């Protein structure tokens, strides 16, 4: 890492993990290293959602069907926007997120997840609210959970779902990348997170595990200041950040 800022590739990160731990490939096989990297990447994405992982999915609601599928691989939903049934270029309407119990009360004494009232009549109209329903059991569109809507769409409205998704991580094969956003812009944090996994696998030394856990948290705080601080503001609308400095007493 000498010579200033250096990003990691899959190959150089693998080498660094073995070098820092002084463990060779006979113990840290490629399969085990991949587990370290995957666990570290997953931890970072859960600890700090990044703008680089934001995605938008567009689709069309089915009339008289009160749910749409969560986009495959979504970690969490940031917003749902609904347009009319023929044009998604005009201004849309943002749905308000509520609990499923609120949706049940709103449409009136639901008898089950099908969205039917006690009288059996479906409450239809342009959706105003949404809630998350069902846990994801896979990464495909058919196993990723559902977004429930109220009222049930009365026509085929166009919708957009804004969400964060777990990106494709580092890997040596076709299912991985040689570089990622994290390995380019958060290399030290990624390395320290991998070393935490590595020393946990080795079951010590405890002081090294503690050292790299603290180093990871320190790097995470600095990276978070950029990701959810500086990247979410600008000088025109928010003003220039100023740090007060006390003047010496007169």
pLDDT in tens, 134-174: 655 555 555 568 899 999 999 999 999 999 988 888 887 66
Q: Which residues, in sequence order, are CB contacts of 190 under 8 Å at separation 6+?
A: 8, 13, 37, 40, 41, 44, 182, 183
Q: Give yes or no for residue 61 having a pLDDT over 60.
A: yes
pLDDT of 117 strictly over 50: no
What is the model's pLDDT at position 136?
Answer: 56
Q: How far apart are CA 140 and CA 245, in angstroms?
A: 53
Residues 73 and 142 in one domain: yes
Of 156, 185, 206, the residue that ends a domain is: 156
212 and 127 fall within a common domain:
no
Please indicate, yes or no, if residue 55 is contained in any of the structural domains.
Answer: no
Answer with the residue of higher pLDDT: 118 or 204: 204
Domain C-terminal end among 104, 132, 156: 156
Most confident residue range from 52-56, 213-217, 244-248: 213-217
Instruction: Confirm whether 239 is domain-assigned.
Output: no
* Residue 82 sits in the same domain as residue 139: yes
Dist CA 49 CA 181 (whole Å): 12
Confidence band (pLDDT; 50, 70, 90) for 114?
low
The residue behind tokens 């390395």 is 191
In a domain, residue 108? The reply is yes
Same domain, yes or no: 70 and 149: yes
Burial class (CB in 10 A: 0-12, 13-18, 19+), 133: middle
Q: Could you tell me if 222 and 48 are in contact, meaning their C-beta atoms sit under 8 angstroms apart?
A: no
Give me the pLDDT at residue 148, please: 93
What pLDDT, on the 0 to 100 scale, is given for residue 23?
93
Model pLDDT, residue 220: 93
My answer on whether 152 and 90 are in the same domain is yes
Euclidean distance between the first and the last CA atom of the chain, given in angstroms as a whole number? 47
129 and 184, same domain (yes or no): no
Q: 209 versus 145: which is more confidently predicted?
A: 209
Q: Is residue 147 part of a domain?
A: yes
pLDDT at 149: 93
Residues 120 and 180 in one domain: no
The tokens 């449409």 sit on which residue?
A: 107
Nearest in space to 192 (alpha carbons), one of 220, 212, 221, 164: 212
2 occurs within a structural domain: no
Question: What global pTM score does this model have?
Answer: 0.75
- Residue 70, domain extent: 62-156
Least confident interval from 5-19, 160-174, 192-206: 160-174
Residue 163 in any domain: the answer is no
Mean pLDDT of all residues in 211-221: 94
Q: What is the pLDDT of residues 74-92, one digit of tens each?
A: 888 999 999 987 766 678 8
Domain boundary among 91, 123, 156: 156
pLDDT of residue 248: 76
Q: In this structure, is residue 128 part of a structural domain?
A: yes
- Cβ atoms within 10 Å of 250's Cβ, excluding its own: 3
Please say whether the beta carbons of 100 and 133 come within 8 A.
yes
Do 69 and 152 belong to one domain?
yes
Q: pLDDT at position 62, please?
A: 92
CA dist 230 → 111, 159, 225, 238 (Å): 48, 30, 7, 10
Residue 116 has pLDDT above 60, yes or no: no
Q: Residues 147, 215: one domain?
A: no
Give the strand order in the sheet containing 54-60: 54-60, 158-165, 74-82, 93-94
Same domain assignment for residues 124 and 96: yes
Task: Return the minimum-mean-pLDDT range out of 101-115, 157-171, 174-188, 214-228.
Answer: 101-115
What string of H, E and C letters represents the secondary structure of 227-246?
HCCHHHCCHHHHCCCCCCCC
Q: Are residues 115 and 177 in the same domain?
A: no
Count the domains in the chain: 2
User: How large is the average pLDDT for residues 223-243?
Assistant: 76
For residue 236, being part of any structural domain is answered with: no
Instruction: Write down the pLDDT at residue 250.
Output: 67
Q: Is the distance from CB of 60 to CB of 53 less than 8 angstroms?
A: no
Based on the domain organization, do 147 and 73 belong to the same domain? Answer: yes
Provide the mean pLDDT of the chain.
Answer: 84
Contact 46, 76 (CB under 8 A): no
């Amino acid at each position: 890492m000498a010579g200033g800022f250096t990003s990691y590739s899959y190959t150089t990160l693998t080498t660094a993990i073995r070098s820092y731990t002084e463990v060779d490939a006979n113990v840290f096989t490629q399969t085990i290293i991949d587990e370290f990297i995957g666990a570290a990447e997953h931890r970072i994405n859960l600890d700090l959602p990044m703008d680089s992982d934001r995605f938008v999915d567009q689709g069309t609601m089915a009339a008289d069907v009160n749910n749409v599928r969560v986009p495959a691989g979504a970690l969490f939903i940031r917003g749902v926007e609904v347009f009319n049934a023929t044009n998604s270029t005009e201004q849309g309407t943002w749905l308000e997120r509520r609990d499923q119990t609120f949706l049940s009360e709103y449409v009136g004494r639901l008898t089950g997840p099908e969205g039917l009232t006690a009288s059996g009549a479906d409450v239809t109209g342009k959706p105003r609210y949404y809630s998350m329903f069902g846990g994801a059991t896979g990464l495909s569109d058919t196993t990723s959970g559902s977004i429930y809507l109220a009222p049930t769409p009365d026509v085929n409205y166009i919708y957009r779902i804004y969400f964060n998704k777990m990106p494709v991580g580092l890997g040596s094969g076709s299912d991985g990348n040689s570089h990622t956003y994290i390995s380019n812009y958060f290399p030290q944090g990624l390395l320290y997170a991998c070393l935490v996994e590595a020393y946990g696998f080795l079951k010590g030394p405890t002081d090294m595990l503690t050292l790299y856990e603290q180093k990871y948290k320190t790097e995470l705080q600095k990276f978070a200041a950029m990701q959810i601080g500086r990247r979410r503001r600008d000088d025109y609308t928010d003003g220039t950040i100023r740090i007060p400095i006390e003047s010496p007493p007169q």
